[in-house]
Chain A
Amino acid sequence: MPFIMLIYYIITAYILAMLIWNFIKEKKSVNDMLLYLLVMIPLILRLLRVK
């Protein structure tokens, strides 16, 4: 795996971890919960390399 791609995977994992953390911490806003889930989709697919 090229170095640049490795960095991109690390960035993807970091942003995904932040989104999961925010999703867990969110207590009231259903809109925000849904928003976190939707933004997570491409990041999860990329990280798991689901084509």
Chain B
Amino acid sequence: MPKQWKIKVILILIVAAAVITAGIQLYNHRHYRMLLTAGPGVTKVHMLSDYCSGLKGTMADTHVFFLKGKEPGGKMLILANTHSNEPASLLAALIFLENAVVEKGTLIIIPQFNNSGGRNTRPGDGYPLYFEIQTSWGTKKFRMGNRDASPLDQWPDPDVYVHYPDKQLLSFLDIRNTNRTWPGRPNGALMEKVTYAAMELMRTEKVDMTVDIHGAETMFPVTNCIVAPEKAIRIATMTSLTLKAREGFDNHVEPSPSGFRGLSHREIGDFSDTLPFLLEAPLPFLDQPTGPKTVKLLLDGKDPFLLSLAKKNKLFVPYDESGWPMENRVGQHCSAVLELLRQFSRKSPDRSIQVKNVPRYAGIVKNGVGYYYHNPATINKKDLYFN
């Protein structure tokens, strides 16, 4: 065999070994079955494909949990993991799922809204594939996802994403972003089907309010806030003021821009009777000028480069040596959702929603997030869902 072909064969073997080794890890990540524990408040479980048949059998289909109270009232939908690299949303939704008991009205929870994105990663940024939360009974393992749906589930991307129905031109990548594909359509791209299914859920179930939970960079101005359109801004403002006064953390209000299309806080309100809210908590992991994207950074939010930038007033949130721990972010989300419920119920007593057993900010900061997750070994198997 000529020398050049010996080199070529060796190179092919090295590349094949690297591809197979990485491929196995990525395959296992994509197919890792994450445990969702339904708490005592869960009364029925649907799949999102029940509202749009085009999702059936795809990686985008996901669980929809209903927690119905004994008394009739209003309905709230909680969307988490719209961006699966913002996991405080998932952790907050799971606290609701495992602990909430609804006394009046109905709570609907979709913990993994962009299920395909939850099975994606960002190798170029060195994202960890998993992270773990400590509990009193051991560790609870979660898949770390990406902002956009996996190209394995929706491909090819267009050169320019033309938003439906407004025809606004958006970045090509945003066609896989479930916070740019609202209100969606039943015959569109897979992520448009996901948001269409959620719109159908809101319209058929007559959902009063929807909370879409996110995390944002500390260097991004729309962080640590509640985003709401005109029709929901009063409730958002009352929530923000009450959280600051009673619980001592900032969560300012940002108006939803009417000229930027495809976002949940804009399109849900425009295409249904539901009041939309979007929650953002600071997430240093997402900032660009940080050290390595480790699980530690994800969980404690401590980074020396951000600290240096904070001293130069380059961040939009207070930042010191304590970072932005996961407990604070999850605590903020839980308190904000509970306060939105309270403010809505005060404004619309005939559609009020009353929820108990969900911890607030101070409790989660004190006890940690894992304190509120139950040991699956002690749970009835019918209440365990794998996704």
Contact = CB atoms under 8 A, between A and B. Distances in A.
A30 interface: yes
Interface string B251-283: 000000000000000000000000000000000
5 contacts: A4-B156, A8-B155, A26-B4, A37-B15, A51-B30
Interface string A13-31: 0000000000100111010
B146 to A, nearest CB: 15
A33 B155 contact: no
A33 B4 CA distance: 10
Q: Using C-beta atoms within 8 Å of the partner chain, give the interface range for chain A.
A: 10 to 19
Contacts of A27: 4
A48 interface: no
A28 B152 CA distance: 36
Interface residues of B, number: 13
Contacts of A33: 7-8, 11
Contacts, number: 27
Nearest to B16: A37
A29 B30 CA distance: 37
Given A27-B4, A41-B19, A51-B30, A34 B11 contact: yes
A33 B156 CA distance: 28
B1 to A, nearest CB: 14
Nearest to A36: B11
Interface of A: 4-5, 8, 23, 26-28, 30, 33-34, 37-38, 41, 46, 50-51
B12 interface: yes
B156 A5 contact: yes
Contacts of A37: 11-12, 15
Contacts of B7: 30, 33
